[in-house]
A and B are shown apart, each in its own frame.
Chain A
């Protein structure tokens, strides 16, 4: 085994261990955080195609380094994203966040190179557990609760993966992480598990719930890995599964509307992220070489421009303390460079020609067209207009322009600016020289994005959408930015189920009067209900006199005797 072929995740884990044990100095830690992704990037770049690192575990053979062109392209962008994210987070002193970032990125990269489901599961849970610290690192009670919800959902994804893997192992004896048909129980479970992480419709809400709750830098890191890992996993196992086309189409659609009326800009971006994932999922569903190339390249470009957008909004949040559209506006006066970067990100995500989104999204669009999915194609075009509406216009316009909020924050710190510049540069570079990206894609690319008809049609679509925006703004029909939240599917478990629970508990009458009146005040708090059943003063945990204990034994013994004798 060549030294260069050790699992890339080890590099990150080692760095995390070093940080944890040795590095007390802040600067050293920041330097390490930047260096590690670069080392990993060089390593991944030089990886040879093939399976490199086998480990025996429980009579199972784990493939820790399955390198092929698909895993390599995801490995590269993950390293790149880690580098940019860490550069952006240079100023962060919090060691918890730094370690979490290292473990998180390491796990994500490890998962990409995992050649079997067991090691995938390890890394899968690794990303879940490490990433939640980026949310908790905000250290408010709200972020704690959000983190809990996030963790629960992420862990359940891993658990379902584990269940699927167990069933598969039981039925076929194989733990291979390969292409599978969506026909057996095991593949269905695995599909759901990937789907949760990929934020499929109705399973999506952890995304919008948690990303706005993380720290400024944490969100940038978070936005790059978890969902794209799921995209990778889907592309690896379920390419060509037709249902994905429809799931993806719905994914591109519904977040548009939510994003349009959402006030918190980071949540707008989370919705937009969801919508972009839809494009990739459609690409996976189509499953042709062109479509998979489209998915891989779109994921690549997407990580960059989405980070860029999160970075610029993050910089605003960092300087002003809020990321709510209703509180912002007119910041271009004092944060012009951030505004410029934000505009570049917006142009990239809206797929303006010469920006990265243009050269990658069109691969997917073209694939749906060549495979004759006219409705899906129309939906994707529609969704492209939608992307423009919330990420292309809303984000930069309401943050940096629009009415003057009177805020005059300083320009973003220098490290943030450098990270944003590099990312902006990459967005433009990929848009201008798409072949650099096309060369590292899984399959041969015979696609020219810059044809006259393609450029013209895209420009027409975007310019007329912009025109529609101006007209609507002038007419005053645009939904105003107001301080409010919007219900989404998380309402079910944040509001509905707790109230049902409460009703049941009340019906059972197991709660005594005094606590019940207290309970009514906290109608939303499921915790209170649990407290009444399991809390220190509840029956389950009370300290009994030993007479009662003996009585219990008598009851159980009678039960046992009855079972045994009859």
Chain B
């Protein structure tokens, strides 16, 4: 890093505000906090990927391959908990949101910088608690990341600790959302009205509202699980007047909107990238902005589709099915607007756009198979099968994951002031993309054939596609390694990228790369961007 340092502007936030670990651990600079999140998320993501690889390896053949059933159950639980609570939910908002929300609106920081740092500490504490279950006590929970009662109340494994970790992480997520909402309300640069905001800010705004209003419900639900495990009083026990299905309601009241916490920021990223690389203003700006809010709101109304076979009442099944179909509409609107923006543009297929188009394709598959889940008849068949596993990996990993990678490749030169190797990035994309499809597509077929999820062992007739899927996991991981190696090399030795390598329009490109501590050299004033140059 040192030899090339001269090529970058000297007054960047890496140099300013102190050096050394302590200066990072006590920073209130939103850019540094964003990077702190990025480094910690990268570590947890890798752990969860390894767990996923091990699970796939176990499933390559029926019967025991590399681990016992109990180990397998703990593995998929921990894989889920880490991926959901430590990677996908905080992923884009905490890394790119922290770094770019203030920059996109020409502000010098978020509204509550110290609170922002506290959120990161809560995140790390939560993560430490979650991972501590690996080492201490009776081992990590074996309930699945859904912690369904009554199993989660009965099992001897360390559910309380895992649940408490999720509680702490939820708190971190709430505070991040609170910070962004206030920032967006109060700190936009002079002249930037609500409908001048970059679309990423709209998606962050919608996401933050979900974080604020849905997360407390899971918090209290998880506390109830802890109380039930400690006191054993039958909070969800029907013989005492309780109801195990109520737990599922409470869990999904949060966890379904949480799906939109995961996907909306990725949609925002794609809405930033597509106009820049097709050299034209976003088609239907308002439609995209409003569809983000619509997704956030309708997202509160559809949780019941996780419970169509749970014994919920008939009318509830029907209502939730209709509402579920309605939530597809705003997503469809977004896709059409993205397409219309590409049409007649002047397209430059750089890695960020490539990842965005990959996002659209994978998200389409995820979203369209979601329609199969939303219909009552087909849901009955594929609920809790590998089809669902395929579906949500397409949405969560294909959608949010690829959105994350798109954001990483798009904003990387602004964050580090350097550029990664474009050719290698393209190559890594294709390996990742192909591996992804080989890994997850077979799950749809397995599910339709009747292979339930969370199965340690399976009937021999399922083996063919399981092998294909496992091979896919190796290709996918190869692609991921290629991508990260390229990114890390870029950060250390890449060529200086200049302030605006993509010729972007939004305010973050007006400042130097990496930005100075105070973000802008002089207080910026918002001007309507001129897109078509």
Whether chain B is bound by chain A comes out as no
